[in-house]
């Protein structure tokens, strides 16, 4: 049985092209997933920044409320100064007012620090929101690109499958079963070229008999890896 090695070479090329296109098709959703994960990360940063800002505002509000209450108490105590019965009582009250005013001054400083912190946190939140919006836009762009690319690749794949089917019709009947079995097992590695000295896939050395068989254009399988063999383009058997 004479084999058209050119036909095998074309089969191999088609199988490799199909594998390549399939691989590129698989990459699309992965790309989308990656930018989605990125977007989620920025979303989480926004959420965290919002939460910290809210907590800080609440802390500032609580302290402000406390300050107001304490100031009211001081005013009340000041009013009591006039009703003191003794100097001692007066002095004690004055001391208490001074201590409360000192405590309020510390509290005011703390409030000021919190308000400054709120300004910084608000800036951080704005930046986080901008980053998140950018990530959202990127996801949208990648989604659009990937979907356009997938459409193109799927068309390419469909055409390649048609070509492959046509090419497979040229395989001699008694080789078809082995070919099918090999393709199912090894995919695009079902075939390989050879320089008639070693297998192009696993480098198994050829025997003299194998080299002779190749010149006779026989259907040959590598004894090492089982690949269906065809000679490189410049080999005499390729003519």
Distance of CA 75 to the CA centre of its chain: 62
Which DSSP category does 205 fall into?
B
Told to check if 202 binds Zn ion by CB under 5 A, we report yes
128 touches Zn ion (CB under 5 A): no
The single residue among 190, 199, 219, 228 that binds Zn ion, judged by CB under 5 A, is: 199
Q: Are 228 and 178 in contact (CB under 8 A)?
A: yes
C-beta of 90 vs 221, nearer to Zn ion = 221
Which one of 8-16, 56-64, 133-141, 195-203 is the stretch in contact with Zn ion (CB under 5 A)? 195-203
- Tokens encoding 96: 């208490």
DSSP state of 233: T
214 part of the interface to Zn ion, by CB under 5 A: no
CA 225 to chain centre: 36
Q: Which is nearer to Zn ion, 171 or 210 (CB)?
A: 210
Choose, by CB under 5 A, the member of 190, 220, 222, 228 that binds Zn ion: 222
Contact window for Zn ion (CB under 5 A) among 40-48, 66-74, 157-165, 219-227:
219-227
Counting residues that bind Zn ion (by CB under 5 A) gives 8
The verdict on 67 binding Zn ion (CB under 5 A) reads no
Min dist CB 199 to Zn ion, Å, is 3
> Closest separation between CB of residue 176 and Zn ion, Å?
21
103 contacts: CB under 8 Å, gap ≥ 6: 70
Cα(32)–Cα(153) distance, integer angstroms: 16
Q: Fill in the DSSP letter of residue 191.
A: E
CA distance 90 to 214: 120
Count CB-CB contacts under 10 A for residue 1.
10
Pick between residue 77 and residue 202 the one whose CB is nearest to Zn ion.
Answer: 202
- Looking from the CA of 143 toward its CB, the CA atoms found within 13 Å total 10
Asked if 172 touches Zn ion (CB under 5 A), the answer is no
Interface with Zn ion by CB under 5 A: which range of 65-73, 138-146, 181-189, 220-228? 220-228
Q: How far is the CB of 184 from Zn ion (least distance, A)?
A: 18
Nearer residue to Zn ion within complex by CB, 42 or 206:
206
In angstroms, the Cα distances linking 114 to 26, 61, 68, 102, 129 are 51, 10, 16, 19, 22
Q: Which residues bind Zn ion (CB under 5 A)?
A: 199, 201-202, 204, 222, 224-225, 227
């Amino acid at each position: 049985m004479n084999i058209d090695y050119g036909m095998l070479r074309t089969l191999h090329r088609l199988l490799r092209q199909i594998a390549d296109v399939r691989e590129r098709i698989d990459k699309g959703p992965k790309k989308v997933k990656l930018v989605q994960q990125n977007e989620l990360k920025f979303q989480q940063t926004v959420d965290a920044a919002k939460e910290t800002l809210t907590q800080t505002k609440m802390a500032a509000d609580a302290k402000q409320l406390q300050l107001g209450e304490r100031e009211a108490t001081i005013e009340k105590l000041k009013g009591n100064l006039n009703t003191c019965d003794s100097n001692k009582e007066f002095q004690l009250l004055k001391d208490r007012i001074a201590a409360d005013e000192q405590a309020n001054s510390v509290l005011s400083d703390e409030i000021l620090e919190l308000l400054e912190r709120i300004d910084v946190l608000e800036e951080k939140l704005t930046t986080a929101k901008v980053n998140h919006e950018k990530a959202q836009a990127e996801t949208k762009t990648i989604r659009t690109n990937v979907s356009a690319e997938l459409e193109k690749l799927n068309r390419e794949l469909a055409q390649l499958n048609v070509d492959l089917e046509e090419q497979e019709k040229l395989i001699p009947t008694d080789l078809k079963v082995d070919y099918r079995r090999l393709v199912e097992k090894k995919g695009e590695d079902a075939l390989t070229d050879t320089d008639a000295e070693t297998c192009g896939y696993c480098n198994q050395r050829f025997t003299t008999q194998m080299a002779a068989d190749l010149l006779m254009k026989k259907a040959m399988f590598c004894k090492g890896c089982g690949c269906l063999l065809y000679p490189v383009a410049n080999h005499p058997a390729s003519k």
